[in-house]
């Protein structure tokens, strides 16, 4: 399939997503309505299905029923809590990429973050800094299991709004 054909199909799929009662999750669809900075978040790790293109559906693992997961919008310097609920049979980690936060909430095993146990939960509390567009993702080592780690749909955008001099923009893409 040519790239141009893929983009046409993806655009058509995104345009028709709103026609059905509950369409399948699309890889290209936005994560939800425009979000605002919050201080309390929940990420639920669970099996999902993702439609990559018409009739190209795969089973994987995601956050809050989607892949990519929901946008997390935070304010620089304002303490937040992220409640991670693991509805899978394996231990998990959620890594907050690019933040200057303590290692016990960084979300990486090699830095000493405690695991989110299978069918359990963990509460991450930290003060996000520095400002910028980041991402969060699983930090579980997949090894030879293609249903774990970076082979899944476990990632999402993390936006840390600046404490001063907020961006002057009229819309966000």
Q: CATH 1.20.1050.10: does it fit domain 3-161?
A: no
Answer whether residue 74 shows pLDDT above 80. yes
Mean pLDDT computed over 44-57:
93
Which is nearest to 118 in space by CA: 13, 40, 47? Answer: 47
CA distances from 109 to 31, 100, 112, 114, 149 (A): 27, 16, 5, 7, 12
User: What are the extents of the domains in the chain?
Assistant: 3-161
- 130-158 pLDDT, tens digit each: 999 999 999 988 778 777 877 788 999 99
Write down the pLDDT at residue 126: 97
Answer whether residue 100 shows pLDDT above 90. yes
Which is nearest to 66 in space by CA: 24, 35, 38? Answer: 24
- 21-46 pLDDT, tens digit each: 344 444 444 444 445 678 999 999 99
| CA atoms of 95 and 156, how far apart (whole Å) | 11
Q: Confidence band (pLDDT; 50, 70, 90) for 121?
A: very high
For 14, counting Cβ atoms within 10 Å of its Cβ (0-12 exposed, 13-18 middle, 19+ buried), the class is middle
């Amino acid at each position: 399939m040519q790239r141009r054909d893929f983009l046409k199909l993806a655009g058509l799929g995104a345009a028709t997503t709103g026609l059905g009662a509950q369409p399948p999750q699309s890889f290209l669809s936005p994560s939800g309505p425009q979000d605002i900075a919050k201080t309390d978040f929940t990420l639920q790790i669970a099996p999902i299905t993702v439609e990559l293109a018409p009739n190209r559906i795969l089973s994987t693992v995601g956050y809050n029923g989607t892949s990519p997961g929901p946008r997390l919008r935070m304010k620089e310097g304002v303490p937040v809590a992220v409640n991670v609920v693991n509805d899978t049979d394996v231990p998990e980690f959620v890594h907050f990429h690019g933040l200057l936060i303590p290692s016990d909430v960084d979300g990486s095993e090699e830095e000493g973050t405690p695991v989110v146990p299978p069918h359990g939960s963990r509460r991450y509390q930290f003060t996000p800094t520095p400002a910028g567009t980041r991402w969060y993702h699983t930090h579980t080592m997949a090894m030879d299991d293609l249903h774990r780690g970076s082979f899944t749909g476990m990632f999402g955008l993390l936006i840390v709004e600046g404490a001063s001099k907020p961006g002057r923009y009229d819309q966000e893409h």
